[in-house]
Amino acid sequence: MGARMARMARSVALGACLAVSGIACANATTREARIPGARDDCEAAASQVASTTTTAETFKALAWCDETGPAALAATWRSLPADTVRLRTFLLASSHIRDGRIFSAAHATAIDSTRLARERAAALLVLVAQVDSAMTVTVVPASRRQVWRAQLARERHPSQIAGTKPLPGDAVVRVNALVQRMAVGVPAGAAGLRDPLGVAVQAARLDLQRLPARQSIVGSR
């Protein structure tokens, strides 16, 4: 009798979940599903990305959206926010959710020689943060000509969350290969230290060299 009642309770709960949310309850383990109102907030933020009406608050919200956030953030990589306030929160959000869609979008930006050097550099650093949960990416002032450049920063209390699509199994290998590829075009000597790609390549290389000593998170959720 007890077992039958338990099965009936589970069936009722499953039906209620499907009726209310309209999605499979298999996703009930995600942050968006667990926290009341989170999915509504995340979908509202994603709609701002789709309508190109984003603010800094949009990306602050998406940083905690493990279901909705990755696709919206990946789409934003096609055209980065023009102002540094939104850009900073966008890069932080892209670093905060570990997800294969963000990884792919950042990788596509980093290898695209038609993109601005500072955008490719930012994408490379986000890739590093994707494979190293202790790192994040922010924006710092640069020269008058460059306006801004991305910079790696170590978090005292890492809070990176997992999206619903794992990173590629060879993510670390791919990031290392990209660093080597991008290093070929970096100016030598002091000029390289003033070049946004040169700074990013050096920072990425140093962090990736330390990565094997820490626990790998690639492909995990």
CA separation for the pair 84, 87 (Å, rounded) = 5
Which of 123, 129, 138, 125 is CA-nearest to residue 158?
A: 129
191: pLDDT confidence band, cut at 50, 70 and 90?
low
- Residues 59-106 have pLDDT tens digits of 999 999 999 999 999 999 999 999 999 999 999 999 999 999 999 999
Q: In Å, what is the CA distance from 92 to each residue of 25, 78, 133, 139?
A: 29, 17, 12, 9
Dihedral sign (CA 62, 129, 168, 30): negative
Q: How far apart are CA 79 and CA 129, in angstroms?
A: 20
What is the per-residue pLDDT for 189? 65
Tens digit of each residue's pLDDT (9 = 90 or more) over 100-157:
999 999 999 999 999 999 999 999 999 999 999 999 999 988 666 668 999 999 988 8
Query: Residue 115 and residue 198: Cα distance in Å, rounded?
Result: 15
pLDDT at 210: 86
Sequence spans of domains, the chain? 1-34, 36-213
